[in-house]
Amino acid sequence: MTTIAIVGAGRGLGAAAARRFGREGFHVALLSRSQENVDALASELTAEGLTAHGYATDVRDGASLSAALERAAQTLGPVEVLQYSPIPQKEFLRPVLETTSDDLTGALEFSVHGPVTAVQQVLPGMRALGRGTVLFVNGGSAARPNPKVAGTSIAFAGESAYAQMLHEVLTPDGIHVGQLIIRGAIQSGHARTDPAALADTLWSMHTGRGAFRQFADDPDA
């Protein structure tokens, strides 16, 4: 059995993706900063008949992130799908003229160093399987920089470039890399941006293995 590792697993999209992939037979590794939160979510999923475990980690701490992903693979099985979707911290959301070089350190650790660390950790297992999927989930500033949220706009640009390069070089190896852009808020009950609808989109990206980038509110954009 293989595993989906959800980095940034919370009660919204993370939980919905866990249920969507779990129903398809994946074991679920839930990663976030709070062990209490991921343990509670893992208990709910287990009660629903899924196999899930929680792992506390900080994506800005590379050693912690690598160790959590290694433990997940050892406990649940090799990571076939990596979903990188932590919610940016408020300190990254300052206007461009108020953003200093020091302010960018955390944003780059969060959106560039974290993804690189996570991918490097799981990639050998995917290569051994002969298949895999890496799913990046970003806000709209990843596609169109927003001067009101300079930190994420700059860091998301780096994350997007990294992800797109991975898409190009890993496709021949049977490893799909895709990016889902959510340009607005995640809205319960919305046809395209409800957490369950977004989880369905992520599942389609995993199984369809098509273009690199997809917009949640307009699949054809």
For residue 220, being part of any structural domain is answered with: no
pLDDT surpasses 60 at 221: no
What is the per-residue pLDDT across 33-65, written as a single tens digit (0 to 9) for each? 999 999 999 999 999 999 999 999 999 999 999
122 is a domain residue? yes
The residues, ordered by sequence, that sit 6+ positions from 41 with a Cβ below 8 Å of its Cβ are: 9, 10, 11, 14, 15, 18, 30, 52, 54
**Is residue 136 in a domain?**
yes
What is the tens place of the pLDDT at every residue in 79-130? 999 999 998 888 888 999 999 998 899 999 999 999 999 999 999 999 999 9
Q: What is the mean pLDDT of residues 142-152?
A: 95
pLDDT attached to residue 181: 97
Number of H helices, E strands in the chain: 7, 7
Entry pTM: 0.95
Range of the domain at 107: 3-215
* The total number of structural domains that make up the chain: 1
CATH value at residue 181 = 3.40.50.720
Chain segment 77-86, per-residue pLDDT in tens:
999 999 999 9
Residue 221 included in any domain: no
Q: Report pLDDT for 219.
A: 57
Residue 92 lies in a domain: yes
- Does some domain include residue 90? yes
